[in-house]
Amino acid sequence: MDHFKNPRNMGEMKDADAIGENGNPVCGDLMYIYIKVEEKDGKEIISDLSFQTFGCAAAIATSSMITELARNKTLEEALKITRSDVAVSLDGLPPIKMHCSNLAADALQDAIKKYREK
């Protein structure tokens, strides 16, 4: 509820290095994850993230959480963040809302994929 009521890192990032996108065709919710990548000691680190989510409370909370979980991670580490990592970090989601956590993890993976394709 805290990540829904006080979402972290919400908003568009104008100078993002890549934008991940994911939608849920069933409910129509849509999410964008913006990432900024910097090279540090020969590793690519996600130095900043933000999100825009047009969706339910769980989708907003999971977006907020993933921007916290992936910050200062290498691209490889961030790719390992799973849907269940997001749900566990939020102290769980109601079973009917578990599918909402898919959006955030998949949108982050899409952002990393697009960054690597650039």
Number of shown-chain residues binding ligand FES (CB under 6 A): 9
Binding region for ligand FES (CB under 6 A) out of 5-13, 21-29, 35-43, 68-76: 21-29
**Does residue 100 bind ligand FES (CB under 6 A)?**
yes
DSSP conformation letters of the chain:
-HHHHS-SSBS--TT-SEEEEEE-TTT--EEEEEEEEEEETTEEEEEEEEEEEES-HHHHHHHHHHHHHSTT-BHHHHHT--HHHHHHHTT---GGGTTHHHHHHHHHHHHHHHHHH-
56 is catalytic: no
Q: Which of 29, 48, 106, 110 binds ligand FES (CB under 6 A)?
A: 29
CB of 99 to ligand FES, least distance (A): 7
Q: Which of 49, 59, 69, 104 binds ligand FES (CB under 6 A)?
A: 59
State the catalytic residue, choosing from 66, 75, 93, 100: 100
